[in-house]
Structure 1
């Protein structure tokens, strides 16, 4: 079992405290350890009582609530998510964008490895890795990082357009090769570019359908809150972070 307690026993429970009680962030109450089978490195996430600043504070898997129907914020991915949040904070504290980018690339790979070792389904694990990696490139990769994200979105639109047009003429499917070929110049980031593009093309429409069903319900909730004297904005929690709140990847 890859995750262990501080004294080397297999991790059979993840001790978290919800702070505040109605919030969406959790504090780790007992340290956890992860042994990476690829590098052989031992990672330790300290308990909140022995940590400082934002360390040992997590929102678990940082999945927006509209996507919880696809990927939950907790479950088999909880321990890898806690580890990834801790490593993301450590990378941000380096104060050097290039060093942080290099560290995050390795940390994101460790996250993917840990997800699979926790028996998270293959597609889900790779999607989670792809989108935390996209955010990493956006934050630390400068203009090239933004270009990678934008190219993924444009490529997904091309794939969708080609798929729709193929109903009238199958030849349009040749356009699918365009984003695939456009990924080649990214070299070692090409697999990430391809996964982002084609996963967005497949999951994007499903997400829009899901949101189309969710939005009316949220509006109904907000209306009831308004009529009853409650807080209409509260129906968005924990999707929207409070202003000035800490961000944990």
Structure 2
């Protein structure tokens, strides 16, 4: 495939994960990606870099061609998508990981370059990136993390997070399906925790639901089955639904605890400011 950069570019394997497929334009030969912090949360990337994996690239091209794009156009689109060119007018916060989830994954790591490219492919306008498909861009993000060495469960959870965002931004029935899925998920998490607690630790059973979920055992069975029943609400990204549902069983309670701790911290900081402590 052709390059979107000049012939003087020196491509060096990314030093963080040399076998990842990421190559950095680094004249020093170290394979480093430089960043400059411009405010409390935003950075500017200094190096051009690209993702080069023939198998992943060919898969993207094939999917674009099946979607109706000409072969040459598809290859040009993939070339644009896989190459990151720094722009000062487009700062980044690296990977957009919420504060209450930083215990699970930082905003930087082996996924950093994949996240930067993914952010370039996703905007507020639906399907406006180089690949012309937010869903395909999300899949590309997952594949880049795979070759970068991000563990299986972590990269699939991160993929499910961006897939959730994609369906929400699409609006219409897709957003309504996500709202319904979230409501079912909250009910499922509560039922699963309550049922497991009643079965394993003799917690009091507080749910007087009609048969067949009137007992903890039946309630737990139905809650687990709902993971598969609700999956079609994510459409073609149904696999992301399964991963998100399983992750929610332990991520949501942990996130709730860390969120509460963050709120307590903010309150204490407010008190300190009010007292003008130094």
3-state SS of the aligned residue for 2:109? coil
Aligned to 1:3: 22
Offset, 1:9: 10
Comparing 170-179 with 185-194, greater Cα deviation is found at: 185-194
Residue of 36, 41, 58 corresponding to 1:24:
41
Aligned to 2:172: 143
Offset, 1:180: 1.6
Aligned to 1:13: 32
Aligned to 2:133: 103
How big is each residue's C-alpha offset from its partner over 1:9-53, in whole Å with a ceiling of 9 and x where there is no partner?
Answer: 987322111113xx211111110111243234441111226xxx4
Which stretches in structure 2 are left out of the alignment for 5+ residues?
1-18, 59-77, 200-215
Offset, 1:110: 1.0
Q: Distance in 2 between matches of 1:10 and 1:174?
A: 56
**What aligned pairs does 1:180-195 form with structure 2 within 5 A after superposition?**
180-184=228-232, 186-195=234-243
Q: Distance in 2 between matches of 1:187 and 1:216?
A: 39
**What aligned pairs does 1:230-241 form with structure 2 within 5 A after superposition?**
none
Does structure 1 residue 201 correspond to structure 2 residue 240?
no
Q: Distance in 1 between matches of 2:241 and 2:167?
A: 11
Judge conservation of contact 1:152–1:196 (CA < 8 Å) in 2.
no
Judge conservation of contact 1:179–1:197 (CA < 8 Å) in 2.
yes
Comparing 74-83 with 101-110, greater Cα deviation is found at: 101-110
Which stretches in structure 1 are left out of the alignment for 5+ residues?
231-249
Aligned to 1:133: 163
Q: CA RMSD in A?
A: 2.7
Residues 8/159 of structure 1: CA separation in 2 closer, same or farther (3 Å cut): farther
Aligned to 2:154: 124
Q: Distance in 2 between matches of 1:198 and 1:16?
A: 35
Q: Distance in 2 between matches of 1:76 and 1:10?
A: 19
Residue of 171, 174, 177 corresponding to 2:225:
177
Residues 201/66 of structure 1: CA separation in 2 closer, same or farther (3 Å cut): same
Does structure 1 residue 59 correspond to structure 2 residue 77?
no
3-state SS of the aligned residue for 1:219? helix
Offset, 1:227: 2.4
Residues 98/44 of structure 1: CA separation in 2 closer, same or farther (3 Å cut): closer
Q: Distance in 1 between matches of 2:261 and 2:122?
A: 33
Aligned to 1:237: none
Does structure 1 residue 48 correspond to structure 2 residue 77?
no
Offset, 1:191: 1.4
Runs ≥4 in structure 1, deviation > 4 angstroms? 7-11, 98-102
Aligned to 1:160: 189
Aligned to 1:233: none
Q: Distance in 2 between matches of 1:10 and 1:147?
A: 50
Count the aligned residue pairs.
217
Q: Distance in 1 between matches of 2:85 and 2:127?
A: 26
Residue of 250, 266, 273 corresponding to 1:218:
266
Bigger-Rg structure (1/2): 2
Does structure 1 residue 113 correspond to structure 2 residue 143?
yes
Judge conservation of contact 1:84–1:111 (CA < 8 Å) in 2.
yes
Q: Distance in 1 between matches of 2:114 and 2:240?
A: 20
